[in-house]
Amino acid sequence: MTRRAPPTQLWINKGATVTNEGRDYVVLSLADINLVLARDTESGERVLLKIGDLGPPRVIGGATPAPQRGTALLDVSDDLWEVAQTRRQLIEPLLVSGGNYAQMLGDQIAVKAGVSRATVYRWVAAFRQTGLLSSLLPNTKQRGGKEGSRISPEVEALIQDALENFHDTTQQQSIAATVTEIRRRCSNAGLTLPAINTIRARLARTDGRERTSRRAGAAAAHDQHDPIKGVIPDADWPLSIVQIDHTLLPVIIVDDVHRKSINRAWVTLAIDVYSRVCLGMFLTLEAPSAMSAGMCVAHAILPKEAWLRRHDVTTVEWPFWGVMGALHMDNAREFRGDMLKAACREYDIDVHLRPVKTPRYGAHIERLMGTVTQGLKTVKGATFSGPDEKGQYDAEGNACMTFNEIEKWLVLFFARYHISKHDGIGTSPLKKWREGLLGTKSKPGRGLPARRLDEEVLRINFTPYIERTIQGYGVVIDDVHYYHDVLRPWINAPHPEFPKHKRKFRFHRDPRDISQLYFFDELSRRYVHIPYRDTSLPPVSIWELREAHRRGAERGIPPENEKAIFTIINEQRALEADAASKTKTARREQQRRTEHDKQRGDKVKTMPTVSRAPGPSTPAPAVRGYDPDMVQPLDDE
């Protein structure tokens, strides 16, 4: 018997089984976006429960097939992602239906996919449990048949030629005609006929503005793919489209100790285009980066109750969460990295980078950031928009709010913003969000989005990573050594496709605290903390390490001299402490480290077991005496 994988998301809808304070309930109806009417399964009592207090149903007994082992998301081939995406499109009707109609749909989908109805229901169950596109990836250990087959290069070439010279022409051939033409050409060439769904998946993957332009002309492409300023098509429901961007807050903040100015902070915001609610935010003293973008997306997806409690905010609620359908971002470097693309693909988020110098594509997030900026002009220490507006005002002299106080101010500001009338939608963002989820008399709602239960794993997936081989001494990143016994099975592991080369593994790392890495161990199927090899070294940020490397080079100390470099970091901290009362730079560095320490303290100490690996993998090496079920996160040891 294998252990049942814990669910990674919780669907709260009519008929769902949930838990609250150790008791089981059945959801009878949604009373509001943050309340449900539920029935106690033992006493039959009907009660109102806060959604933030609900947990997944308890699993008693039973076993499920062991999930396939996996590896990093970017190791999954495009063909496998294509299969998963096709399955996702096939089961879409079943994800939103029920009853006898669902059974009829299941039969239709099974026929269309060429599989049994039971297989279709397994796909639905897997996706509902995890909400991850990788849950629909085929089992690569299978050989032959639909899931084991591969399209030959000759067939690929024929498909590509037919798409370019038959389908993508002003004659505007239908999809059915294109499928028939491709299979005809393959038959004439004596090649294996590609599956109809494979061809349709190719068409869906390459659909876009360029294809519309070739088939219907530039004007049609503009009408279909170029949104008018302030209007984005398909934002018909909450979470259908979310925009994200950064801004430098126009207010000088002070440090926690001396209450003296340390300059300004950056904030990354995410807005739901349909309702205009602020779905997520991330405040930092660092310049915009992939880390701040990833943390904002993660904050937007996750429920906010625990986050508000950690910041001692108990008077307001932030009842907005959920995986978005599409994420709109500008072309800044931090939005174009592989980490963000891979994480969004895993959570089935469609990424759109808006064209350069086209602000109309980000009108909603730009307006939200402008609203925040305008509101901060009332805060002491505001910098205003220029000398004329500022006048004789001494921003630094009047600055009085700390980093944590500005963050609380933003939370309270958005609490007011969400209940105020928004001119663009004619009602408040909170009401618009509620109507979109629960529906109105004239339009049904989309229902509550699933609540992610794998919070720490989600955050790790949206954290920058570095690829390294694993050596006998562990892993070296930025001349810092890391080691954990869990790495032993992968020492000098060969590349699965190029045996003469060593395999590289991905190690996620929070730049604010590089004292540990996050490594997904394919044997134990969980993320594990990989600490410094020398555990006596203090936690530091990547910025402190880089500054120490610079100072070390001035003294002739090589960066690989780990002890000496960390000694320089300790010296830097001592100097900052002495200078904090005198210089703004020293106070800012001290405060930045304080915020990093707070983030470190907020992290969950035990890494949860991953219910499903991020994708298919090569077989793990056999290691004598190694029991993957006995591997525990570092903090449990």
Tell me: do 171 and 278 sit in the same domain: no
277 pLDDT tier (thresholds 50, 70, 90): very high
Instruction: Report which of residues 598 and 18 the model is more confident about.
Output: 18
Instruction: Report which of residues 530 and 441 the model is more confident about.
Output: 530
Reported residue count of the chain is: 637
Q: What percent of the chain has pLDDT over 70?
A: 76
Tell me: do 444 and 527 sit in the same domain: no
Instruction: Report which of residues 400 and 305 the model is more confident about.
Output: 305
| pLDDT at residue 11 greater than cutoff 90 | no
In what side-by-side order are the strands of the sheet with 350-353? Answer: 278-284, 266-272, 241-248, 326-329, 350-353
Question: Among 17-26, 214-223, 292-301, 518-527, whose mean pLDDT is lowest?
Answer: 214-223
Tell me: do 510 and 422 sit in the same domain: no
Q: What is the mean pLDDT of residues 595-609?
A: 54
Tell me: do 600 and 497 sit in the same domain: yes
Assess if residue 306 is contained within a domain. Answer: yes
CA 81 remoteness from chain centre: 17
Assess if residue 142 is contained within a domain. Answer: yes
Instruction: Report which of residues 606 and 199 the model is more confident about.
Output: 199
CA distance 483 to 486: 8
| pLDDT at residue 160 greater than cutoff 60 | yes
159 pLDDT tier (thresholds 50, 70, 90): confident
Tell me: do 385 and 247 sit in the same domain: yes
Tokens of 35: 């309340």
Assess if residue 458 is contained within a domain. Answer: no
CA distance 76 to 65: 22
**Highest mean pLDDT out of 10-14, 350-354, 450-454:** 450-454
Q: Is the Cα dihedral 533, 471, 502, 67 positive or negative?
A: negative
Assess if residue 599 is contained within a domain. Answer: yes
Q: What is the mean pLDDT of residues 152-169?
A: 82
The pLDDT of residue 358:
54
* DSSP string computed for 580-623: TTT-HHHHHHHHHHHHHHHHHHHS-SSPPBPSS-SS--PPPPP-
Instruction: Report which of residues 528 and 215 the model is more confident about.
Output: 528
The pLDDT of residue 613:
36
Q: What is the mean pLDDT of residues 105-111?
A: 80
Assess if residue 520 is contained within a domain. Answer: yes
Residue 418 burial (CB count, 10 A): 23
| pLDDT at residue 2 greater than cutoff 50 | no
| pLDDT at residue 612 greater than cutoff 90 | no
Residue carrying structure tokens 């749909």 = 105
56 pLDDT tier (thresholds 50, 70, 90): confident
Torsion of CA 557, 560, 563, 565, to 10 degrees: 50
Q: What is the mean pLDDT of residues 564-573?
A: 88
State the average pLDDT for the chain. 78
Instruction: Report which of residues 108 and 533 the model is more confident about.
Output: 533
Range(s) of the domain holding residue 429: 241-452
CA distance 635 to 414: 36
Tell me: do 378 and 264 sit in the same domain: yes
Distance of CA 48 to CAs 45, 58, 85, 373, 612, Å? Answer: 10, 20, 38, 39, 33
Q: What is the mean pLDDT of residues 53-65?
A: 61
Q: What is the mean pLDDT of residues 129-133?
A: 74
Which of 117, 148, 179 marks a domain boundary? 148
Residue 46 is part of a domain; what is its CATH number? 2.30.30.40
Q: What angle do CA 482, 487, 491 make, to 5 degrees?
A: 100
Tell me: do 506 and 592 sit in the same domain: yes
| pLDDT at residue 428 greater than cutoff 90 | yes
Question: End-to-end alpha-carbon separation of the chain, Å?
Answer: 26
The pLDDT of residue 206:
60
Tell me: do 439 and 476 sit in the same domain: no
Residue 482 burial (CB count, 10 A): 25
Which of 148, 171, 195 marks a domain boundary? 148
SS3 389: helix
Helix (H) or strand (E) segment spanning residue 514: strand 513-521
Assess if residue 230 is contained within a domain. Answer: no
Residue 215 is part of a domain; what is its CATH number? 1.10.10
| pLDDT at residue 531 greater than cutoff 80 | yes
Which of 130, 148, 166 marks a domain boundary? 148
Question: Among 50-59, 367-376, 397-406, 595-604, whose mean pLDDT is lowest?
Answer: 595-604
The pLDDT of residue 491:
93
The pLDDT of residue 109:
84
| pLDDT at residue 303 greater than cutoff 60 | yes
| pLDDT at residue 146 greater than cutoff 80 | no
Q: Which 8-state DSSP code applies to residue 205?
A: H
Q: What is the mean pLDDT of residues 352-364?
A: 66
Tell me: do 58 and 206 sit in the same domain: no
Tell me: do 86 and 61 sit in the same domain: no
Assess if residue 564 is contained within a domain. Answer: yes
Whole-prediction pTM: 0.69
Residue 383 is part of a domain; what is its CATH number? 3.30.420.10
584 pLDDT tier (thresholds 50, 70, 90): low
Tell me: do 443 and 471 sit in the same domain: no
Question: Among 373-387, 455-469, 524-538, 554-568, whose mean pLDDT is lowest?
Answer: 373-387
Number of domains in the chain: 5
CA distance 519 to 286: 25
Assess if residue 457 is contained within a domain. Answer: no
- By the 8 A CB rule, do 157 and 182 touch? no
Tell me: do 441 and 317 sit in the same domain: yes
**Highest mean pLDDT out of 147-161, 279-293, 330-344, 579-593:** 279-293
| pLDDT at residue 202 greater than cutoff 50 | yes
